[in-house]
Structure 1
Amino acid sequence: MAGNSDPLTPRAKLAVTAGKAVAAASRAAGRGSGSVIGGRVALKLDPDLLARLAQNLDVVLVSATNGKTTTTRLIAEALRAAGPVVSNALGANMPAGITSALAGGSDAKFGVIEVDEKYLAGVARDTSPKCIALLNLSRDQLDRAAETRMLAENWREGLAGSKAVIVANCDDPLVVWAASSSPNVIWVAAGQMWKDDAWSCPSCGGVMQRPGDDWFCGECGFRRPTPTWALSGDHVLDPHGSAWPIHLQLPGRANKANAASSAAVAAVFGVPPQVALERMYQVQAVAGRYDVVQFQNRDLRLLLAKNPAGWLETFSLIDPPPAPVILSVNARGADGTDTSWLWDVDYTRLTGHPIFVIGDRKLDLAVRLEVANQHFQVCDNLDQAVQMCPPGRIEVIANYTAFQDLRRRVGN
């Protein structure tokens, strides 16, 4: 690892070897990347393996409800300007997947790690990160992750007194409350389009006041901190007040916000904003998200949106009407089995688009669209929906397992 003497004990080396063998067998059997099962086996053999693998790396952790995978990828590209990077680029973001990713990066200098919100405190304890990026917190998988205030409290307690530099979005009150227990925070004004999870003060429960882009609690005085980095249109403003153009092939305001946070993280490691933002331009798609694929002689753009905040951001970047839109929703284990979140999404934003509905829970979605007075057609599968779509590039929006189903079907 990075020119140091080998930090791995014989037991740790055995665990790494066994994990890789199990992962390879899983891949050969056609069961996905094998990273999770490989990591589980490795951690069984050496429960301290994650800490051992991280000890010679400069580690960055990225956690949020939306944008983790993309931001992790952007930070990894930026930091490659300063040395080799190992990252869980495919989004396996619990301890087993993270362990598996780090085991594959023996010559790396940096570890850029996406972490599931529930596991952040534990992974931070194991990996002693130099930097932690906190982007947003909103409702997601309520049956699994509990409500956002509890997650914020978990972060706040787990990060209290952390030696890491915390790069946090000052526009999300839940993130600010969680990060405020840390002594070293860099605040980024990255914006917050979805506000429905932050109407009450996370500190005292009072009603939040939201004049313009500002926010504060009228009862306890908890308020938006002053940022040193900010997203401003198509530019990132750095702490010196310089404006750096954002170079991205990824669409939408949310990805510009991800780039702003990523530039702030890169600066912690000495990579200047101009270099960081130029390197981010290389990212065209992230684990299939934003890819434009050909299917049945049509162009389909694949968009992942897992919860109300994600759907709201995604609606803002699709082609204008009458571009056809296919919506696909499942409710399997990885999605969360509770689909009540569909009622929190503003589907009137799709007015004027021909809408086609597929997925395991297409009837739940159909009821929701009916109430929103949208015109739509329920289809059996992607093939039928594409055949029924009028001309134009087709925007396909899907939640997590529905997105994986789509990628398999279109051969992506």
Structure 2
Amino acid sequence: MTESTAPLSPRSRIAVTAGRAAAAVSRAAGRGSGSVIGGRVALKLDPELLRVLSGHLDIVLVSATNGKTTTTRLIAEALRAAGEVVSNALGANMPAGITSALAQGSRARYGVLEVDEKYLTAVAAEVNPKVVALLNLSRDQLDRAAETRMLADHWREGLKDTKAVVVANCDDPLVTWAASDSPNVVWVAAGQEWKDDAWSCPSCGGVLQRPEGGWACAECGFRRPSPTWALAGETVLDPHGTAWPIRLQLPGRANRANAATAAAVAAVFGVAPGPALERMYQVTAVAGRYDTVTWQDRELRLLLAKNPAGWLETFSLIDPPPAPVLLSVNARSADGTDTSWLWDVDYTRLAGHPIVVVGDRRLDLAVRLEVAGQNFRVFDTVEQAVRAAAPGRIEAIANYTAFQDLRRAVGN
């Protein structure tokens, strides 16, 4: 590896320049960061550009259904202790967005990239990663994503001959199945709150047993491997059994699990847990998630939850009743147009919270809340909902595009 990339070919230089120009036009037109359109233009002009731009970097790929944006950010902060990092920090995680990010990293040492689950193995084949971090697999975007077992099989096939160190959550049976054929695996006991996508054995289809602290298939013997790293309350245990305190400004158990994985990844690059975790404390929000804003003379905390696993973790973060809760759900292409997942979320956990509901699919959500016996009101706009919400800090929970709508509304 070198500190800066080798000179680009004329074709690659033209592709990068054209991509940056397209991104600039997109930003000027108010259509977002421009990273996706910029990457598409660049790859159209040079289909090998992803491979070219990553050639000088030590690459980390992070993939999961939940937590990949935050974990990517934590890893990037940890590795900055050892050198310059380029990352797709805003979450554009398909090849076009990744290409745009890498085009900004000519002098970087590390590339820390979140990757959409469906594109993980294709991107890995292009960028030759040093580490692949796998966090969890659960149902998400039901109209576009493969069934979780099929996705685990796809990962397993694509990673079985990888030269990368695979850092994998051994508490998720689907992730364990995906990683278990890889030559070099570091197992992290990061926990698994949502278990409804992993009751059957991914190896034989038998029913998984879940004794305290583990899981196993009684029929074929496939079982949870012994972890090398482990989340233990407010600490992470390293391979020597040393407990390192996790101090984050990001809330909740899920983010401590993300930090444990990030510490394991950083260790592959020689960054010790102490300095790695110290740097992670500097992360206060991730692409607006967990931000607290004042708007309409009210305080709102912005929380993203885009699938049942994410909603379960998010419910554990909110202030206790009677804190008001704003819920917003869309079903645009970036969210997935199938909202049947709403029926998998346990909305009885919101008992005692006065709830206001907005979003494109507010009526779908209203039906679900009615069945769950919750106290709620439906509004056409965020402004109306916030004005009508009960006193106190509002916990605003939204899925992907609804979260972006919410950020725009409050000026975040």
Q: Shorter-chain TM-score: which interval?
A: over 0.9
SS in 2 for 1:396: strand
Distance 1:409 1:253 in 2: 29
Contact 2:4/2:106 (8 A) holds in 1? no
SS at match of 2:144: helix
| Structure 1 position 393 matched with structure 2 position 397 | no
Q: Is the 8 A contact 1:2 1:106 kept in 2?
A: no
Other-structure match for 1:296: 296
Taking structure 1 as the reference length, the TM-score comes to 0.99
C-alpha separation in 2, matches of 1:4 and 1:359: 45
How do residues 224-235 of structure 1 correspond to structure 2 at under 5 angstroms?
224-235=224-235
Please name the residue that 1:307 is paired with. 307
Following superposition of structure 1 onto structure 2, how do residues 358-369 of structure 1 map, counting pairs within 5 Å? 358-369=358-369
Matching of residue 74 in structure 1 with residue 42 in structure 2: no
Q: Within the alignment, does 1:168 sit opposite 2:159 as a pair?
A: no
- Aligned residue in 2 for 1:272: 272
CA distance, structure 1, for counterparts of residue 326 and residue 223 of structure 2: 40
1:106 is matched with which residue?
106
1:12-161 equivalences in 2 (<5 Å): 12-161=12-161
Distance 1:3 1:232, change over 3 A: closer
CA distance in 1, matches of 2:336, 2:262: 28
* Alignment of 1:321 onto 2:328: no
Q: Is the 8 A contact 1:2 1:108 kept in 2?
A: no
2:156 aligned partner, one-letter code: R
* Cα-Cα RMSD: 0.9
Matched, 1:338 2:333: no
Deviation by residue 1:109-133 (Cα, 9 ceiling, x = unmatched): 0000000000000000000000000
Judge which range, 307-316 or 16-25, deviates more. 16-25
Number of residue pairs matched?
A: 412
**2:86 is aligned with what amino acid?**
V
SS class of match (1:143): coil
Distance 1:5 1:232, change over 3 A: closer
1:317-358 deviation line (CA, Å, top 9, x unaligned): 100000000000000000000000000000110000001111
Query: Are the equivalent residues in 1 in contact too, given 2:65–2:136 (CA < 8 A)?
Result: yes
Offset, 1:2: 4.6
Give how far 1:213 is off. 2.2
Runs of at least 4 residues of structure 1 off by over 4 A?
Answer: none
Partner of 1:262: 262
- Tell me by how many angstroms 1:3 deviates: 3.7
Q: Note the alpha carbon deviations across 1:11-67, whole angstroms, 9 max, x for none.
A: 111111110111111111111100000000100111010001011000000000000
Change (3 A) 1:9 1:322: same
Can you give the 5+ residue segments of structure 1 that lack an aligned partner in the other structure? none
Q: Which residue of 2 aligns with 1:223?
A: 223
Measure the CA separation in 1 of the matches of 2:173 and 2:7: 40
Whichever residue aligns with residue 314 of structure 2, its letter is: T
**How does the TM-score come out when normalised to structure 2?**
0.99
Question: Which segments of 5 or more consecutive residues in structure 2 lack a partner in the other structure?
Answer: none
